[in-house]
Chain A
Amino acid sequence: MALNNNRLKRVLMGTGALALAGLLSPAALATDAQEIIRDRCLACHTESSDAANSTFSRISDQRKTPEGWHMTLNRMEHLRDAKISAQEKRELIKYLSDTQGLAPEEAAPFRYLLEQDTNLVESGVDENLMQMCARCHSAARFGLQRRTLDEWQMLVDFHMAQFPGIELHAGSRDRPWYQLAHNETSAQLSEQYPLDTPEWNNWSKAKKVDLKGRWRVTGYVPGKGEFSAWMTAATDDDGRYNLKLEGNYADGAVIEGSGKATVYTGYEWRGTLTIDSVKMRQVMAADKDGQVMAGRMFLAMEDEIGGELRAVKDTGKAQVVAVMPSYLKAGESAELVIVGQNLDGDIDLGDGVRIDEVIARSKDRIVVTATATGTPAVNDVQVGSADSTVALAVFDQVARVDVTPTNAVTRIGGNGGEMEKVRATYRAIGYSAGADGEAGTDDDVRLGYMPASWSIEPVDEVAEHDKDHLYAGEITPAGMFIPGDAGPNPERKMSANNVGRLNVVATVDDGDSKVEGRGSMLVSVPDFVERVLD
C-alpha cells in the first residue's frame, strides 16, 4: 500500500495531467517509466546521464520481448527483493519492450515460444549453442534477446551464481564449461544477437499503425472446433484496447467474448478475453502495415491447450479469409463455410466444383453445399471481386496424415499433488500425394485439418514391456490426451510413476480406406517451476 501511496503522491505533485493521460502519450510514458526505474531500481542499478538521455546499468544494454522483460521483473521481485506494484510493473514492461524490444524480423523465428506453443522440437539451432544453452531451456529463450558482449558475459556469470551446479551437469562437466561459456559462447551470442541491429534501428524509428478497429478473426478452440468471428478493438482510456468478439464455430454454435488487449513494441498483440466464460489469451504479431495479425489463442490456465488465430483488418475492401474445411473429395459433396468480409457477387470454387446450394449468405459468411465433379486440383476460392489467397483442395485420396503436435510433452499431475496434469490436444492434417503419386514427398498437397479417431500405443519394445500405454494416460475421442496421476505407482516396476513414451495415432477415414498418422509423446514428471517463457 505504501508503494501505491507514494506513487500516487508523486503523480499528483509531479507529472499531473500527463500521468492521467498515462500510456496514451509515448513521451509521458517514457518520463513516467524512467521515474519508476529511478524509484524502484536504483538501489542496485546505476543511472548515467548525458544531456540527451539517461541510461541504467544492465537495463539499457539489453533488448527483449514483453515476456522477456516480464521475466526479468519477476526475478527482480522474487529473488532480488525489488518492491514494485502491479501497475508499475505493467508500465515498465510496456516502456521497456517499446523502447528496448525486438524488431518483427528479430522475433519472427521464435514466435512459437511467445505463443506458448512449446510442444515442438526446435530445429536449426547452432550445435554449440544447443550444447551450451539449449540443453536446459529453449533456444528461443536466448534467441529472443539482444545484448552487448558484456551483457551476454554477465548473463553467463548470473547463470553460474544462480545455478552453481550448472558446470557439473552431464553435458558440461566434460569440458571447461564456464570458460567456454564466458569467452566463446558469449562472443558467439553477441555476434548472432547483438544489441545494435539495423532491424531494430529501422523498426524503432518506423511509424507504428494503430491496431484499433474491426478484425475478421479465424481460429481454433480445442474441443469446440474452428471458428470465425468479428473482433473489435476500441481504444480504452488506459491505453489498452477493449475487445469484443462475436461469431460462430464451424457447426454454427455461437462464440462470444470480451476482454482487453495491449500492443507492445508497435506490433506485439497480447489479448486476454473471457470467451464462453473461459479465460483465454491471445498472442499475435501484426504485420508492418497493421492489416493482418497471426498467432495463437490458448487457455489462460493451460497454455498447452489452444490453437491458431488469425485476424484480418476490415478496411472496407472485400476479402476472403478462409474456407472451412479447406478440402473436398473428388466425386463427393460437402458443406463448406466461406469466411470473409464485404463479400458480394458470384461464388467460384474453381473448375470442377459445382455449387449445389447456398444455404446461408451474409457479407462475411457464406455456407454452401458443393460437389467436386472434376479431377484433383488446388482451386482459388473467389467471391465476386474480393481479394483472396484462400484455396480449396480437391483430392481423390488421403495419402498421408500428419499428427500435430508431432512431438509433445505432457505431465502427470493431480492425485493430491501440487501440480495439475499438463494435457495436450491433437489434430490430424491430411495430405494428398501430389503429382508424383507418392506420399511423403515435397509435392504432397496439404488438404487441411481432418476429423480423426485417436488412440495411443507404446513407442517401442521397452515402453511396451513397461506398459506405458496402460499407465501413462489416455486420449479422448476428440484428440485430447490426459496423462496419468502423479505419484509412485506400486503396480509398476520400481513403483515408477505414470510416466511413459507413447505414439499418438490418428486414423482418418477416407472412403473405404483408413489412413494413419503418428506423433510422439513423452509423458513426463510435473514441472514445478512456472516460467513466463520456457
Chain B
Amino acid sequence: MKLTQMLKSTALVGSLGAAALLGAVAPAAQAAQEYLLTVTRPGHLQVIDMKTNQVERTCEVPGNFGSGSIALAPDGKSAYVLSNGMEDVYGFDIRSCDITFHAAQSTKTLKVKTFQSVAVSPDGKELYTVQNPFGLERDRFTVEQPRLAVFNVADGIGAQPVRTFPVDRRITKIATTVQGEVILGGGDVKAINPKTGEIRMVTPLQSWDKGPLWLPPDAFAMHSQGEQSNEYIMPYVTAEFTDESWNFETAEWWWGMSRVDLETGEAERVEMVPFEFIVFNFISHPHDPNILYGAFNTLSKHDISKKETVAVHEMPHTYYDLNISADGKTIYVGGASSDISIHDSDTLEKIGSIQLSGDMSTSDLRVATIRD
C-alpha cells in the first residue's frame, strides 16, 4: 500500500533531516540571542527577548496594518514587515527600530498586493516579494501577471525592483533555500531561481496525481515559520474516498504537508495525521522532525512517524500561529488576540504569557537569532 511506503520514506528522510538540522543549529545556539517578533495593531513591530519573555522594543511600522507578515534577514538583525494594506515592505534594524529599507510597490497606475510573500536571500543582500498587480485604468481594473520582484536590500529607502520574473497566481508564503532558490507556496509548491526566473516543481499539490479517490488538496500557507528547523511547510487537507461514490462522510480525512528542507531544496510530501480539528499553522520540533506542533483553538502535538496526534491542549481563545525556541523546549503561541501564550513543548502545559499592546490579528510570530 502506498501509504506504508510513504511512511517508510518519510521516516528515512526525517531522520536524515534531523541529523542535518542538529548539525546546523546546535553549536551556534549556545551563543545566540533569540528574539520573538510579531506585529500588533495598529502598526507595531514587537521585539521580545526570549530569555526574559519581555517586550524589549516596539518599533513603529508606517502605513495601514497589512497582514503582519515578517521576513528575517539571515543574521537576525533585520526584519522586513509587509505593511500598508499588503503593499509596502519596511525593513527594520530590530536592535534600534531604525527603518533601513522601504519599498512602495504600488504606483499611480498599478495597485500591487503581496499576500504574505516576503523573503530574504541567504546572503542577506536581496529581498524577494511576489507582487500581484492590478491595473488602474480610468473606468476599469485589469488583472496583471503576478511576478517575483527582486530588490537590493542596499537600495534602502525607496528601493525599486532590480529584476522581475513571472510566477503563478495564488502564491502566499515564500522562503529562500541555502542554494539561493525562492520557494513559492501556491497551488503547487515550486521553486524559482531569482537570477534567471527559471521555475521548477517542488511538490505538485493542485496538480498531483494521486488518483480519483483522493480529494485535490486544499493547500494554504498563511504562516510558514520554519526558521528554527530551516524548513518550509505548506500544509494541506485532503481526503481519501472509499469508492467512486465520493462520499464525504465515509472518506478518511488527512492533514498533509509539503515540507521543504531549506538546506537542500528537497521536499517530502506526506499525509501526516488524520484531520480531527483545524490547525492554522504547523511547526516542527527543531531536533525531531517527526514531532510537529499546531495551533488554532488548540495547541497540539503530532508524531508523524506514527501518524498520531499525541497531545492536545485546549486554548482559552483562538491563536493563529506558533513558534519554538531553538532548544525545542518552549513553544510560543500567538496571533489573533493580544497575548502570546507560552507552553512546555513536552507536556503542552502553559508556563507563561506575554501581553502585547494590540491585537496580532494575522501577524507572523517569528524567531530572529542574533549570534554575536
Contacts and interface: CB of A to CB of B under 8 A. Distances in A.
Interface string A149-171: 00000100110111011011010
A174 interface: yes
A161 B134 contact: yes
Contacts of A135: none
A177 interface: yes
Interface string A381-393: 0000000000000
B93 to A, nearest CB: 30
B138 A44 contact: yes
A182 B216 CA distance: 22
Contacts of B140: 58, 154, 157-158
B169 A164 contact: no
Given A46-B138, A170-B218, A182 B187 contact: no
Interface in B105-137: 111, 113, 115, 132, 134, 136
Query: Helix, strand, loop or mixed for chain B's interface?
Result: loop
A116 B136 CA distance: 33
Contacts of A173: 170, 187, 218-220
B170 A160 contact: no
Contact of A160 (B86, B141, B217): B141
Contacts of A58: 139-140
Interface in A91-114: none
Contacts of B143: 157, 160-161, 178, 182
B169 to A, nearest CB: 6
A57 interface: yes
B2 interface: no
B51 interface: no
Interface string B72-113: 000000000000001000000000000000000000000101
B172 A168 contact: yes
B315 interface: yes
B64 interface: no
Nearest to B85: A164
A495 interface: yes
A176 interface: yes
A174 B218 contact: yes
Contact of A164 (B113, B136, B206, B219): B113
B297 A494 contact: yes
A57 B137 CA distance: 12
Nearest to A56: B139
B142 interface: yes
B27 interface: no
A286 to B, nearest CB: 34
A57 B139 contact: yes
Nearest to A57: B139
B318 interface: yes
Nearest to A58: B139
Interface residues of A, number: 26
Contacts of A44: 138-139
Given A164-B132, A168-B170, A494 B315 contact: yes
Contacts of A167: 169-170
Contacts of B169: 167, 176-179
A83 interface: no
Nearest to A169: B220
A157 B134 CA distance: 9
A176 B134 contact: no
A179 B218 CA distance: 18
A45 B138 CA distance: 7
Contacts of A205: none
A170 B280 CA distance: 13
A163 B246 CA distance: 33
Contacts of B138: 44-46
A154 B140 CA distance: 7
Contacts of B220: 168, 170, 173
Contact of A157 (B141, B206, B216, B316): B141
A376 B172 CA distance: 66
Contacts of B142: 157
Nearest to A159: B141
Contacts of B297: 494
Nearest to B141: A161
A174 B188 CA distance: 10
Contact of A495 (B111, B141, B218, B317): B317
A210 to B, nearest CB: 37
Nearest to B220: A173
Interface in B212-257: 216-220
Contacts of A176: 169-170, 187, 206
A515 B169 CA distance: 56
A494 B134 CA distance: 40
B141 A158 contact: yes
A207 interface: no
A531 interface: no
Contacts of A175: 187, 206, 216
Contacts of B206: 174-176
Given A46-B138, A160-B141, A168-B170, A495 B113 contact: no
Interface string A40-72: 000011100000000001100000000000000
A160 B169 CA distance: 12
Contacts of B134: 157, 160-161, 164
Interface string A172-197: 01111111001000000000000000
A80 to B, nearest CB: 9
Nearest to A151: B140
A57 B140 CA distance: 10
B218 A46 contact: no
Interface in A114-142: none
Nearest to A179: B169
A508 B335 CA distance: 50
Interface in B276-335: 297, 315-318
A494 B313 CA distance: 13
Contacts of B217: 174
B316 A495 contact: yes
B318 to A, nearest CB: 7
Complex A-B, nearest 6 residue pairs according to Cβ-Cβ distance, in ascending order: A161-B141, A161-B134, A164-B113, A44-B139, A44-B138, A157-B141
Given A157-B141, A158-B140, 15 more contacts: A45-B138, A46-B139, A57-B139, A160-B143, A164-B115, A168-B170, A170-B218, A170-B220, A175-B206, A175-B216, A176-B169, A178-B169, A494-B297, A494-B318, A495-B316
30 contacts: A44-B138, A44-B139, A58-B139, A157-B141, A157-B142, A157-B143, A160-B134, A160-B143, A161-B134, A161-B143, A164-B86, A164-B132, A164-B134, A167-B170, A168-B115, A168-B170, A168-B172, A173-B218, A173-B219, A174-B218, A175-B206, A176-B170, A176-B187, A176-B206, A177-B169, A178-B143, A179-B169, A494-B317, A494-B318, A495-B316
Interface of B: 86, 111, 113, 115, 132, 134, 136, 138-143, 169-170, 172, 187, 206, 216-220, 297, 315-318
